[in-house]
């Protein structure tokens, strides 16, 4: 029944049988067959069916909650006893822009494995955090992927890719990105940062000469400056819903290869090897939530 229960949880996440099938590699018919098998085994109906739409009924919600508990228990079974008893400090370096979205989910996953651990959060910019990691001053870092080759001394995993967007003051009605960038004051995402280099490479590659008025590392500060009609900017998509709340125009550059990549990284050999051994599972848990 494990496969069927896993599919049930996936339906909650993706919202429909067809979307679930698409995301977990099954046909819609296979998803439907698994649910029918589960209903037959339990002797109850889990969904209200109305034409092509299905919704969890009260029994379905009850079974769903129990299924989630089952998988939480299975994860705990996989943990060495020393993880549950680990009471040491875990030092996590994190850039500012992820502290209100990805970071809480990472911490939630981390506490599943280390419920008694003490977390110390070290804020900073990617470049500095990467070097702190190298000097064993932190155990994990959540940073922008460096624009250079990372040595084999490290393991890193992608958490998300944030497309680069063009944002402009609300009273700019022009839609062509190149003309906007050439003809308006430009608020530059700090060139020395890993994310700023992504922006700089795009401008250089497309031979776009900008009229820079200021260079800023903090994304929220850039957004506020654009709101104040100081200029236009290229920034990573830190959350489209969040950006839509601002008094700005958002222009999709339609460049699939233009993005800022957020990674979690750790050294392979550290004093806290117990932590590094579980990072991939933490990332897997966060990735499931993000889908």
pLDDT in tens, 10-54: 998 888 888 888 888 889 899 999 999 999 999 999 998 877 778
- On the question of pLDDT at 288 being above 50, the answer is no
Superfamily of domain 161-260: Periplasmic binding protein-like II (3.40.190.10)
Q: Which residues contact 117 (CB under 8 A, 6 or more apart)?
A: 86, 87, 88, 89, 90, 110, 111
Query: Quick check: 121 and 92 in contact, CB under 8 A?
Result: yes
Structure tokens at 63: 């079974």
Query: Quick check: 235 and 198 in contact, CB under 8 A?
Result: no
**What percent of the chain has pLDDT above 70?**
89
**CA dihedral sign, ordered 157, 21, 10, 291:** positive
**What percent of the chain has pLDDT above 90?**
43
Confidence of residue 286 (pLDDT cuts 50, 70, 90): low
**Residue ranges matching CATH 3.40.190.10 in the chain:** 81-160+261-290, 161-260
Query: Quick check: 11 and 63 in contact, CB under 8 A?
Result: no
Mean per-residue pLDDT, 241-254: 81
pLDDT at residue 45 in the model? 93
Burial class (CB in 10 A: 0-12, 13-18, 19+), 130: buried
Q: Who has greater pLDDT, 242 or 93?
A: 93
pLDDT at residue 51 in the model? 73
Q: Phi-psi region for residue 141, left (φ > 0), alpha (ψ -120 to 50) or beta?
A: beta
Mean per-residue pLDDT, 111-139: 90
- On the question of pLDDT at 85 being above 90, the answer is no
Q: Among 60, 112, 125, 59, which residue's Cα sits nearest to residue 83?
A: 112
pLDDT at residue 194 in the model? 87
Task: Give tens-digit pLDDT for 157-195.
Answer: 888 899 999 999 999 988 899 999 999 999 999 988 888
Determine the straight-line distance between the first and last CA of the chain, rounded to whole angstroms: 24
Q: Which CATH architecture has domain 2-78?
A: Orthogonal Bundle (1.10)
Burial class (CB in 10 A: 0-12, 13-18, 19+), 210: buried
pLDDT at residue 63 in the model? 94
pLDDT at residue 277 in the model? 65
Confidence of residue 114 (pLDDT cuts 50, 70, 90): confident
- On the question of pLDDT at 121 being above 70, the answer is yes
- On the question of pLDDT at 272 being above 70, the answer is no
- On the question of pLDDT at 241 being above 90, the answer is no
| Bridge partners, residue 55, by sequence | 48
Structure tokens at 54: 């299905």
Structure tokens at 286: 């966060």
Mean per-residue pLDDT, 139-159: 87
**Residue ranges matching CATH 1.10.10.10 in the chain:** 2-78
User: Could you tell me the pTM of the whole model?
Assistant: 0.64
CATH class of segment(s) 81-160+261-290: alpha beta
pLDDT at residue 276 in the model? 65
Structure tokens at 159: 């958490």
Task: Choose the weakest-confidence range: 2-16, 61-75, 144-158, 237-251.
Answer: 237-251
- On the question of pLDDT at 290 being above 80, the answer is no
């Amino acid at each position: 029944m494990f496969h069927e229960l896993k599919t049930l949880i996936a339906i909650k996440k993706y919202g429909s049988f067809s979307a679930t099938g698409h995301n977990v590699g099954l046909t819609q018919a296979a998803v439907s067959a698994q649910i029918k098998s589960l209903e037959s085994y339990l002797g109850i109906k889990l969904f209200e069916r109305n034409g092509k739409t299905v919704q969890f009924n009260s029994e379905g919600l009850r079974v769903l909650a129990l299924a989630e508990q089952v998988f939480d228990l299975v994860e705990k079974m996989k943990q060495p006893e020393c993880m549950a008893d680990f009471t040491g400090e875990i030092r996590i370096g994190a850039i500012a822009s992820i502290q209100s979205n990805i970071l809480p989910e990472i911490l939630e996953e981390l506490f599943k494995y280390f419920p008694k651990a003490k977390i110390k959060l070290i804020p900073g910019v990617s470049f500095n955090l990467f070097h702190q990691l190298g000097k064993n001053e932190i155990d994990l870092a959540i940073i922008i992927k460096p624009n250079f080759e990372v040595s084999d001394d490290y393991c890193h995993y992608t958490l998300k890719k944030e497309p680069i967007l063009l944002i402009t003051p609300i009273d700019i009605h022009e839609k062509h990105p190149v003309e906007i960038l050439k003809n308006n004051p430009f608020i530059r995402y700090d060139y020395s940062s890993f994310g700023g280099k992504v922006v700089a490479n795009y401008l250089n590659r497309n031979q776009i000469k900008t009229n820079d008025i200021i260079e800023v590392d903090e994304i929220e500060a850039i957004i506020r400056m654009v709101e104040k009609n100081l200029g236009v900017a290229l920034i990573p998509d830190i959350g489209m819903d969040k950006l839509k709340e601002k008094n700005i125009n958002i222009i999709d550059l339609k460049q699939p290869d233009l993005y800022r990549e957020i990674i979690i990284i750790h050294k392979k050999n550290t004093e806290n090897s117990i932590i590094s051994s579980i990072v991939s599972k933490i990332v897997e848990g966060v990735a499931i939530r993000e889908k």
